[in-house]
């Protein structure tokens, strides 16, 4: 921690003097405690909105770096999102509690000695781009294990932990990226803010109005496209139509959204603009420019006119026109092919998703006789898991359930396209499924859960438990909610037998988890 309080004999904590770690340590051990503690109330230490400068010394689950201020009442902990041990950072206090403060990262003042600069441009969506991947994975593993101990009350995590599955691609792994325009640019080289600019790239961390030009690849998306984004920016700037002004909610160019098929090595591109001065823009000419710039790589080009003031690039918010090509691409997962439109939900890192699904199905099959049993795929979305399961299973009835009717229709079409016949899809509320289809009661051998990031609502989880499956394989994109649900499952008589982590998003704090639960003789739906 690098904070020393000025004028502390007056208990004035609004003026802070900052030192580097060496100076701080020397002062800390040479001054009497009352000089820098002053018997403060921890809740008075910071104010919301205050800008502070801290040295990050530890790492917590979810990508929160930690700094600690010693007080006579114990450490006051500062959490700064998307930071890493060894960094000195500038941050803004967003929330203040009695014993801790939560902060938003504004600027990295000094890099961690663990970081190694590479040829990619750092963006807010990849805060650990310069941390070696093996170190990222070590921190993700330890901090995620810790969340199961803290939230799930699991004491034997080392014994049940199976493996950490690394992403097959550490760079250029994403299949979708959204780039923003703004006439307010944050210059990545000088740090200056420029008005009346034409910026195309990503939002400056901690802001919603400033954009940093992407001048070289980010390391996350297609390298050829991002290398040529400068030429796309120059072409659009030459039209003399303005980039969007976020505070004023006016301008023309708003977003470029790109979807990639690794199977086809092709891109869908969607340019989002307002309707202001629309007649001055030739979308067909821009489409021809894209085809010449990326020959053979553009599967389709769409233009969306969106006058909604909300800063969102979704097609349903505007009027969409296909300028040329197809409105979809084909992606392949474990031998199955899926049609993906610009708005389709699909795994962002398909190569890693193959590893994720393969591990989940290993948990479904190992030591499990599925003959004449029903396997339920709950929150099935477009039916990916159910179809992959059908490839490996015989004499098994597979049921996919999701409340989103459009997703179920896509699931049926995907299954037909792949010649999968042994899977049925139902548009239904997961929690009410047995009430609507009582014929499945008592016949469900295995449940595969893949809920959204918010996890499973407690009432819905209880209904899932009452289905009485012998085995539950729970896939989670948020281990914190899975850890919470694990405690509930254990109370109901399920044993957490195995746990694995999958890195779907290198250079970020996100991690996915797969848990295997087995019903025990203590199974009881009336638990408290």
Q: Give the CATH number for residue 393.
A: 3.40.50.150
C-beta of residue 49 within 8 angstroms of C-beta of residue 73: no
For residue 77, is it within any domain? Answer: yes
Tens-digit pLDDT profile for residues 170-191: 999 999 999 999 999 999 999 8
Tens-digit pLDDT profile for residues 31-45: 333 223 333 454 466
Contacts of 3 (CB under 8 A, 6+ apart): 16, 18, 24, 52, 53, 54, 67, 69
- Looking at the structure, tell me whether residues 359 and 480 fall in a common domain: yes
- Tally of domains in the chain: 3
- Looking at the structure, tell me whether residues 451 and 466 fall in a common domain: yes
b/e per residue 310-332 (b: at least 16 CB within 10 A): eeebbbeebebeebebebbbebe
- Looking at the structure, tell me whether residues 357 and 322 fall in a common domain: no
Q: Rounded mean pLDDT of 470-483?
A: 95
Confidence of residue 528 (pLDDT cuts 50, 70, 90): low
Question: Domain holding 223: CATH number?
Answer: 2.40.50.1070
Q: Are strands 100-110 and 176-182 parallel, antiparallel or unpaired?
A: unpaired
Window from 63-77, 196-210, 309-323, 508-522 with minimum mean pLDDT: 309-323
Task: List the catalytic residue out of 103, 183, 380, 477.
Answer: 477
- How confident is the model at residue 26, as a pLDDT? 34
Residue 451 has what DSSP assignment?
A: -
- Looking at the structure, tell me whether residues 229 and 355 fall in a common domain: no
- How confident is the model at residue 431, as a pLDDT? 76
Among 114, 40, 46, CA closest to 80: 46
Cα-based distances in Å from 43 to 78, 211, 311, 474:
12, 35, 35, 40
- How confident is the model at residue 40, as a pLDDT? 45
For residue 129, is it within any domain? Answer: no
- How confident is the model at residue 526, as a pLDDT? 82
Tens-digit pLDDT profile for residues 444-472: 899 999 988 888 889 889 988 988 899 99
Cα-based distances in Å from 479 to 355, 474, 515:
17, 10, 10
Q: Which two three-digit tokens encode residue 177?
A: 């990226």
Residue 202 confidence (pLDDT) above 50: yes
Residue 98 confidence (pLDDT) above 90: no
- Looking at the structure, tell me whether residues 258 and 397 fall in a common domain: no
C-beta of residue 475 within 8 angstroms of C-beta of residue 514: yes
Write out 193-243 in H/E/C secondary structure. EECCCCEEEEECCCCCCCEEECCCCCCCCCHHHHHCHHHHHHHHHCCCCCE
- Looking at the structure, tell me whether residues 159 and 243 fall in a common domain: no
Tens-digit pLDDT profile for residues 273-301: 999 999 999 999 999 999 999 999 999 99
Question: Domain holding 9: CATH number?
Answer: 2.40.50.140
Q: Which two three-digit tokens encode residue 157?
A: 């995590």
Averaged confidence pLDDT in the chain:
88
- How confident is the model at residue 393, as a pLDDT? 82
Residue 343 confidence (pLDDT) above 50: yes
Confidence of residue 226 (pLDDT cuts 50, 70, 90): very high
pTM of the entire predicted model: 0.87
Highest-pLDDT range among 17-21, 393-397, 518-522: 518-522
For residue 340, is it within any domain? Answer: no
Burial class (CB in 10 A: 0-12, 13-18, 19+), 453: exposed
Among candidate residues 333, 364, 383, the one where a domain is terminated: 333
Highest-pLDDT range among 71-75, 198-202, 421-425: 198-202
C-beta of residue 295 within 8 angstroms of C-beta of residue 265: no
Residue 62 confidence (pLDDT) above 80: yes
- Looking at the structure, tell me whether residues 97 and 56 fall in a common domain: yes
C-beta of residue 406 within 8 angstroms of C-beta of residue 381: no
Q: What percent of the chain has pLDDT over 70?
A: 91
Confidence of residue 315 (pLDDT cuts 50, 70, 90): low
Among candidate residues 267, 300, 333, the one where a domain is terminated: 333
- How confident is the model at residue 434, as a pLDDT? 73
- Looking at the structure, tell me whether residues 365 and 315 fall in a common domain: no
Identify whether 477 is a catalytic site residue. Answer: yes
Q: Rounded mean pLDDT of 344-368?
A: 93
Contacts of 8 (CB under 8 A, 6+ apart): 35, 36, 37, 38
Among candidate residues 299, 333, 367, the one where a domain is terminated: 333
- Looking at the structure, tell me whether residues 498 and 355 fall in a common domain: yes
- Looking at the structure, tell me whether residues 366 and 479 fall in a common domain: yes
Q: Are strands 51-55 and 88-96 parallel, antiparallel or unpaired?
A: antiparallel
What span, in angstroms and rounded, lies between the C-alpha atoms of 39 and 68? Answer: 16
For residue 338, is it within any domain? Answer: no
Tens-digit pLDDT profile for residues 239-275: 999 999 999 999 999 999 999 999 999 999 999 999 9
Contacts of 10 (CB under 8 A, 6+ apart): none
- Looking at the structure, tell me whether residues 150 and 214 fall in a common domain: no
Query: Per DSSP, what are the bridge partners of residue 81?
Result: 64
- How confident is the model at residue 27, as a pLDDT? 34
DSSP string, 95-131: EE-SSEEEEEEEEEEE--TT----SSPP-TT-TTTTS
Q: Rounded mean pLDDT of 95-99?
A: 90
For residue 526, is it within any domain? Answer: no
Q: What percent of the chain has pLDDT over 90?
A: 70
Q: Rounded mean pLDDT of 355-371?
A: 91
Higher local confidence (pLDDT), 367 or 7 = 367
For the chain, the first-to-last Cα distance in angstroms comes to 43
**Domain carrying residue 387:** 134-169+348-519
- How confident is the model at residue 41, as a pLDDT? 52
- Looking at the structure, tell me whether residues 141 and 280 fall in a common domain: no
Among 400, 483, 510, CA closest to 126: 510
């Amino acid at each position: 921690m690098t904070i020393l309080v000025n004028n502390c004999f007056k208990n004035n904590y609004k003026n802070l003097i900052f030192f580097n770690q060496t100076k701080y340590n020397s002062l800390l051990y040479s001054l009497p405690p009352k000089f820098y503690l002053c018997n403060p109330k921890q809740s008075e230490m910071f104010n919301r909105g205050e800008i502070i400068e801290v040295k990050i010394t530890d790492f917590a689950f979810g990508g929160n770096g930690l700094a600690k201020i010693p007080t006579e009442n114990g450490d006051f902990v500062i959490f700064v999102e998307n930071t890493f041990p060894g960094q000195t950072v500038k941050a803004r206090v967003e929330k203040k509690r009695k014993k801790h403060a939560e902060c938003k990262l504004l600027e990295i003042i000094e890099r961690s000695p663990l970081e190694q600069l590479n040829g990619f441009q750092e963006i807010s969506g990849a805060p650990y781009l310069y941390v070696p991947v093996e170190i990222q994975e070590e921190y993700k593993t330890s901090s995620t294990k810790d969340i199961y101990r803290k939230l799930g009350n699991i004491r034997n995590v080392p014994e049940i932990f199976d493996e950490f599955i690394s992403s097959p691609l550490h760079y250029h792994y994403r299949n979708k990226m959204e780039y923003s325009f703004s006439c307010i640019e944050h210059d990545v080289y000088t740090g200056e803010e420029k008005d009346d600019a034409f910026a195309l790239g990503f939002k400056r961390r901690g802001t919603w109005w400033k954009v940093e030009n992407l001048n070289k690849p980010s390391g996350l998306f297609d390298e050829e496209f991002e290398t040529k984004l400068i030429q796309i920016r120059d072409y659009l700037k030459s039209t003399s139509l303005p980039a969007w002004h976020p505070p004023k909610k006016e301008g023309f160019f708003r977003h470029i959204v790109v979807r990639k098929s690794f199977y086809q090595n092709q891109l869908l591109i969607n340019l989002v603009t307002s309707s202001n001065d629309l007649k001055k823009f030739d979308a067909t000419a821009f489409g021809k420019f894209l085809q010449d710039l990326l020959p053979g790589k553009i599967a389709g080009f769409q233009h969306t006119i969106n006058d909604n003031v909300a800063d969102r690039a979704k097609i349903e918010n505007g009027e969409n026109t296909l300028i040329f090509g197809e409105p979809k691409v084909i992606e392949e997962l474990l031998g199955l092919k899926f049609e993906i439109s610009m708005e389709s939900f699909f795994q962002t890192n398909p190569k890693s998703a193959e590893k994720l699904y393969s591990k989940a199905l290993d948990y479904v099959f190992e030591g499990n006789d599925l003959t004449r049993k029903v396997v339920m795929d709950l929150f099935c979305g477009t039916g990916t898991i159910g179809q992959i399961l059908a490839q490996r299973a015989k004499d098994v009835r597979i049921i996919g359930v999701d409340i989103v009717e459009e997703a179920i229709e896509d699931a049926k079409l995907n299954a037909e396209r792949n010649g999968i016949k042994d899977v049925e899809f139902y548009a239904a509320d997961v929690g009410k499924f047995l009430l609507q289809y009582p014929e499945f009661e008592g016949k469900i051998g295995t449940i595969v859960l893949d809920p959204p990031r918010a996890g499973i609502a407690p009432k819905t989880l209880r209904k899932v438990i009452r289905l009485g499956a012998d085995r539950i394989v729970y896939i989670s994109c948020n281990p914190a909610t899975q850890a919470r649900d694990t405690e509930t499952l254990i109370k109901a008589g399920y044993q957490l037998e195995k746990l694995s982590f999958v890195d779907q998003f290198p250079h970020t704090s996100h991690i996915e988890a797969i848990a295997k639960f087995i019903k025990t003789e203590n199974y009881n739906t009336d638990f408290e």
